[in-house]
Amino acid sequence: MVLGWSRGVALTVALGSAALAGGAVRAEQASDLLKDQTQAQGLIEPRAVGEDLPEVTVTATKSREEQVYKVPLAVTVLSQQRASERDGTTIVDLLKGETGVWVQSSGPGQGTPFVRGVTGREVLLLQDGFRISPAFIRSGPNQYLALLDPYAFERLEVARGPVSVLYGSDALGGAVNVVGATPQFTGEATQAKGRVYAGYGTANAERSGRLEVSAGSEGKAFSLGLTYRGFDDFHLGGSPNPQLLFPNADPRLVSGSGYEYYAGQLKFAVNFDPTQRLVLGLEYNEVPRFAAIDSLIQGYGSAVIDASNFFTPQSRLFTTLTYEVKPRESWLTSGQLKLGYQRILDDRLRRSYSTRPSFPSFGSGVADAFYNSERNNSNLFGTQLTLESVAGRHTLTYGGEVYSDVIFSDTVRRFDAGSTAVRPSRYVSGSTFEQWGIFLQDYIRWSDRVSTVLGVRYSSVTARVPADGLRDSPAFTNNSSDFTYNLSNAFFITPEINYVLNVGRGFRAPNISDLSQAGVEGNFFNSPNPNLRPEQVFSIDTGFKFRTGTFTGELFGFWSKYSDRILTVLTGNTVAGLAERRQENAASQIIGGIEFGGQWRVIPELALLGTATWTQGDTTLNTGEVVPADRIPPFNGVVGVRYEPPAGKFYVEPLLRYAGAQNRLAPNNRSDNRINPNGTPGFFVFDVRAGLSVGESLWLRLVAQNLTNNNYREHGSSLDGLGTNIFFNVDYRY
């Protein structure tokens, strides 16, 4: 496996280096192409006082920044500037209320974005275009994107709809890309700049701090960033149901929900000449310990599952080496060769109850005389080659990528008496997940008003699971391959209205979690299934993008048909006295919806803003039964007003975040202790954001959340929302 992957990397690197170097030879005397290309394509336009800068995206193109308004794809973008006006316990929380995105959390420190009705393993997670999603990512909520630093990105981009042509497996509902900044300076003299940030929140005693420094001159630069965040136990709003939070003595204060977070980033950039750049990036994120709250409280279940259950630790190490070339007089417009490595540590400590306590019998539970210590990690190696060429009306983006994920997993049972026993691990240690693909996408500009994007990709995925004596399971291999495509059209009805139509196909190969997760989990025994087939989706979306002098926004409708859906199915057998279940290609599914987001600038100082997302889905089981799709978000969005004088030294933004009731529950939702079996009630949450600039470098900001102290729950989450929270931050940049 490693040898095969190494050969693939070596071949890709060799071909990529040759192509990139060939382009660079003819560009020794070129000026700064990035600036020239940006101006030539009209990516930066003059703007009036009070007008927002055009949002740009790189996720939709993979090779260059393009205006969101112009690309024929539904994209949600959140800049760091706007993110700094918000507060959330994770980076995922910053997306709450954004067009087409719903956030679910299984507890503090965790967060999962829903995009077009799906989440988890069906929404691809990326950082600077490199995969975050490990081979053991689950179907439901997970914490992997939440490990990333909420202060260390330039933009959060959400591509809504299948983007498998550019990114391969997993991007069924879409992709979330965390785009970072690269340090750069102009002039021969060495310069430096930095940032000092500190914030405090009342509902969970949040302490957040960030230090940044960057230095360099023309052609060379580095940046360093360090983040610390600490949270005490969470205070919930209103009067929570004490049965849901049992065995917490005070249902408004969730015991054990506090945690700490550490992150650091280091980046070096060197320009060999105006057309070639080498960037080395290093990042580390860690949560030393946080609770799996959903198993420590009764919720909507009949009893508390675990006496203790902690992720300890959760961490991520990420490093990339990127070579970029932007020649001028060449067949190659730009090229990028990226090598990367990611290690995700997903360790757990869990002690269950032999006799489970149930409300209101506080203290009646009897804990097991042992606990299980798990070590799970994913070691993901990848290489990407992305090239772009312009020929007349055509902008060709093409290349390939190779990834290999090696899984380590073990479980040790540690008895209170001092003895230990090796237990079957969550995943078979030594399992590998290898994937490679080649793609070609043509962006055709027929005229100033009409453009088309045509793309095709071939992907191959191989999962290898070795024999496991503890499970008495044989070795097996699962192979998947697929052709995916997209056809997108943009028609500018006027310069201010862009009509978009997309047709695309995506796929998701069964991963290590699907194929080999086994053993006791709650009241069930999971059995592996080596014969799973890939999931596929065919999707159509259409809509309008608006960019007038006073209104910026979008309105999209989408329809997605999934086949060979992988679901957890009861087999009807029992193992060790527990009901057996496993993953099977057990259903098809249709999910559709409408997405709206916009901002209307009434006068230069005042803007009305709002988003609204409606999603509905149905699952057709292989038995022919039709049931609601799993964990579909309710109708949701935000409405608000933003007042900001043209000078930009002050703003105030009152917001109402809302969600309708969700009563269409999948059968498994009704037995999920996180979800009310009668449906999740709707809610309104009133927030206010405000900021004041002091001088040229200092911002004072206030975020007042849930001012009416409502008790509410976001559908699918483990906890009710925070009560009234006053978050204040000081942001100094020099």
Q: 321 pairs with which residues across the strands? A: 280, 339
CATH of the domain at 135: 2.40.170.20
Domain range for 389 is: 10-42+57-154+161-733
Which one, of 650, 675, 589, lies nearest residue 299 by Cα? Answer: 675
Rounded Cα–Cα distance for residues 488 and 559 (Å): 15
The structural domain count of the chain equals 1
What percentage of the chain has pLDDT greater than the value 90? 79
440: which 2 tokens?
């070609």
- Residue-averaged pLDDT of the chain: 90
pLDDT of 344 higher than 90: yes
Residue with tokens 């203290």, as numbered in its chain: 363
Task: Tokens for 581, please give them.
Answer: 């279940």
Residue 93's nearest CA partner among 730, 733, 719 is 719
* Cα gap 86→691, rounded to integer Å: 11
Q: 183: cis peptide before it, omega within 30°? A: no
Task: Tell me: pLDDT of 164 over 90.
Answer: yes
C-alpha distance across the termini of the chain, in Å: 49
Cα separation, 314 vs 345, whole angstroms: 5
48 located within any domain: no
Q: pLDDT tens for residues 346-362?
A: 999 999 999 999 999 87
pLDDT of residue 54: 65
The pLDDT > 70 percentage for the chain reads 92
Tell me the one-letter amino acid at 612: A
The band of 110, judged by pLDDT with boundaries at 50, 70 and 90, is confident
User: Who contacts 732 (Cβ-Cβ below 8 Å, separation ≥6)?
Assistant: 195, 196, 197, 697, 698, 699
For residue 212, tell me if it sits in a domain: yes
Question: Is there a contact between 487 and 442 (Cβ–Cβ < 8 Å)?
Answer: no
How far apart CA 733 and CA 248 sit, in angstroms, is: 42
pLDDT range class, residue 43, cuts 50, 70, 90: very low
* Cβ(90)–Cβ(109) below 8 Å: yes
pLDDT at 109: 86
Contact between 501 and 542 (Cβ < 8 Å): yes
Residues with Cβ within 8 Å of 495's Cβ and at least 6 positions away in sequence, in order, are none
Find out whether 564 and 537 touch, Cβ atoms under 8 Å: no
- Position 5 in a domain: no
Across the range 106-113, mean pLDDT stands at 86
What residue has token string 């942001």? 731
Burial state string for 343-361 with b = 16 or more CB within 10 A and e = fewer than 16: bbbbbbbbbbbeebbbbee
Query: How many CB atoms sit inside 10 A of residue 594's CB?
Result: 16
pLDDT at 436: 98
Establish if 251 belongs to a structural domain.
Answer: yes
d(CA 461, CA 404): 10
CB 101, CB 129: distance < 8 Å: no
Residue 60: predicted pLDDT: 87
- What pTM, to 2 d.p., does this model score? 0.91
Residue 303 in any domain: the answer is yes
